[in-house]
Amino acid sequence: MTLTLTFMFVLVASWTMVLCTKEEPMSEDPPLLQVPAVEARSRFAALDDVRLLANGLLQLGHSLRDFVQKTKGQINDIFQKLNIFDHSFNQLSVLASEIKEEEEELKKTTVVLKANNEEIKSLSLEINSKVESILQERSQLQSKVGGLEEKLSGLSQGLVPAEQLAEISTLKDVIHTQERSIAELLKAVREQSDQLVQQRSKIKTLEEKLTFNPSMQETIEKPSDNFQSVTPDLTGYLTNTSANGSFNMTDLPSDCCELFTRGERASGMYTIKPNQSEPFMAYCDMDQDGGATIIQRRKDGSVNFDQNWEKFENGFGDFQGEFWLGLKKVHSLASQGDSFLNIQLEDWKQGKRFIEYNFSLDGPEAHYTIHLSQASGNLPDAMSNHTGMKFSTKDRDNDNLEDSHCAYTYTGTVVGTGEDDILWMHGLS
């Protein structure tokens, strides 16, 4: 549009110059033929029209320029609004991501609270049954004491035999003991009741949150995609060079116990090399006296332990969470000499218990047969009667039972009947 206006202005100016040029000879050298006055007036009238047209075009050009400036301003405003919209959209995306993470955390918390609630209910029922039994015994003892008191009142005038005095004293001691037991059980029942109230309050709060957020409820009702996904393999054997460079094969410790002897006191991942084995990564617990190599850890159910033979032989999971070190590696650790297998359990109230066994493990040719004998601990012994049992998985049944397959029965992998708890292996020199 600007080029068109410029061209028109040049055309008008040229026309004006031509007209002016034609008028100059009339003042200096009159032509041979006189031009009529009417024709001269018509020429001047045309010139006025041209000038009027030029002024109109000039005004039109100014108007167009103002319109273009105004349009540019409006376009700039639109771009600013678009930028504001993009910024708001990005903020909404970040907020949606945070909400999704909170949903995952709430889902995990709900599962844990439900499990705790079921455990508390079972404990409460068990305690109630014990309290009822104790109350019945107390009633029986009170009736016996009442009978003895009647006998004593009848013999108050005479001398009481020593046997009856001893029986009365014994019964009184029993009654006092029962009363103390009842008081302790009632206290435990009250504590369990308070915990049940707290658990129900937490569950109710979570249910209210789920009610206000239907999408979260659908997420909880659906099985976890992460749990159904492929369980990651644990770090395999290392060669004489690693991603960080080379290391001396002869200088590596044989287990975490040797690391502790060398002065290491920080728990974490270390490279070890048991006898007759390639080096591999292991998690060492230096909080244990003498150091301990963790061969299994379970704490939150984030890893599916219902795996096949290959997975259990090579190891799977994550050292930072739940994992199984692998049968090959455990066998190489146990083959170095006398070892202890230490099983530690921690409940939801941070109560800790353990049991420790003298431990050895045969190689793959014997299907990793386990040999155990109890050494110490405050847990019930559930493993000693499985000594001599072979390792079984859902795809390889080695338990020698004709009418059952333990790995399928207990939905997992077993040595005999299996223990899905935290395991430590202590190497002893």
CA distances, 164 to each of 98, 143, 205 (Å): 76, 16, 61
28 found inside a domain:
no
29 found inside a domain:
no
- Which of 223, 246, 267 corresponds to the end of one domain? 223
Task: Please tell me the predicted confidence (pLDDT) of residue 225.
Answer: 43
- Which of 202, 223, 244 corresponds to the end of one domain? 223
Cβ burial of 132 (10 Å; 0-12, 13-18, 19+) is exposed
* Residue 142 structure tokens: 């009170």
Q: Are residues 151 and 246 in the same domain?
A: no
* Residue 266 structure tokens: 């920080």
Q: Are residues 361 and 267 in the same domain?
A: yes
Q: Are residues 282 and 203 in the same domain?
A: no
Q: Are residues 185 and 242 in the same domain?
A: no
| pTM, entire model | 0.45
Helix axes 37-154, 214-221, angle to 10 degrees: 60
* Residue 111 structure tokens: 């599962």
Task: Please tell me the predicted confidence (pLDDT) of residue 279.
Answer: 93
Rg (CA), the chain: 47
Q: Are residues 421 and 389 in the same domain?
A: yes
Domain that holds residue 202: 115-223
Q: Are residues 209 and 251 in the same domain?
A: no
pLDDT per residue as tens digits for the range 157-214: 555 567 777 888 888 888 888 888 888 888 878 887 787 888 778 787 777 766 655 5
Q: Are residues 258 and 211 in the same domain?
A: no
pLDDT per residue as tens digits for the range 107-154: 999 899 988 888 888 888 888 888 888 888 888 888 888 888 777 776
* Residue 237 structure tokens: 């054997």
Q: Are residues 255 and 140 in the same domain?
A: no
5 found inside a domain:
no
160 in the Ramachandran plot: left (φ > 0), alpha (ψ -120 to 50) or beta?
beta
- Which of 163, 188, 223 corresponds to the end of one domain? 223
Strand partners, 281: 271
8 found inside a domain:
no
Q: Are residues 247 and 201 in the same domain?
A: no
Domain count within the chain: 2
- Please name the residue that has the structure tokens 């899905």: 420
Q: How far apart are CA 338 and CA 217, in angstroms?
A: 52
pLDDT per residue as tens digits for the range 368-393: 999 998 778 888 887 877 888 999 89
Name 357's Cβ contacts closer than 8 Å, sequence gap at least 6: 340, 341, 342, 343, 372, 373, 374, 375, 383, 384
Q: Residue 156 — very low, low, confident or very high, per pLDDT cuts 50/70/90?
A: low
Q: How far apart are CA 17 and CA 11, in angstroms?
A: 10
21 found inside a domain:
no
Q: Are residues 390 and 299 in the same domain?
A: yes
Task: Please tell me the predicted confidence (pLDDT) of residue 66.
Answer: 92
52 found inside a domain:
no
Q: CB of 353 within 8 A of CB of 341?
A: no
Q: Are residues 215 and 239 in the same domain?
A: no
Distance, CA of 80 to chain centre: 41
Name 409's Cβ contacts closer than 8 Å, sequence gap at least 6: none
26 found inside a domain:
no
304 found inside a domain:
yes
Q: What is the mean pLDDT of the chain?
A: 77
CATH (domain of 140)? 1.10.287
The more confidently predicted of residues 405 and 183 is: 183
* Residue 245 structure tokens: 């460079």
pLDDT greater than 60 at residue 407: no
pLDDT per residue as tens digits for the range 257-314: 999 999 999 999 999 999 878 999 999 998 877 889 999 998 888 889 989 999 999 9
Name 393's Cβ contacts closer than 8 Å, sequence gap at least 6: 307, 308, 309, 312, 407, 413
Cβ burial of 209 (10 Å; 0-12, 13-18, 19+) is middle
CATH (domain of 314)? 3.90.215.10
Q: CB of 360 within 8 A of CB of 371?
A: yes
- Please name the residue that has the structure tokens 């001396």: 248
pLDDT per residue as tens digits for the range 314-362: 999 999 889 999 999 999 998 888 888 888 888 777 788 888 888 899 9
Which long-range CB contacts under 8 A does 6-9 form with residues at least 24 apart? Answer: 8/57, 9/54, 9/57, 9/58, 9/61
Q: How far apart are CA 83 and CA 101, in angstroms?
A: 28
Q: Are residues 251 and 192 in the same domain?
A: no
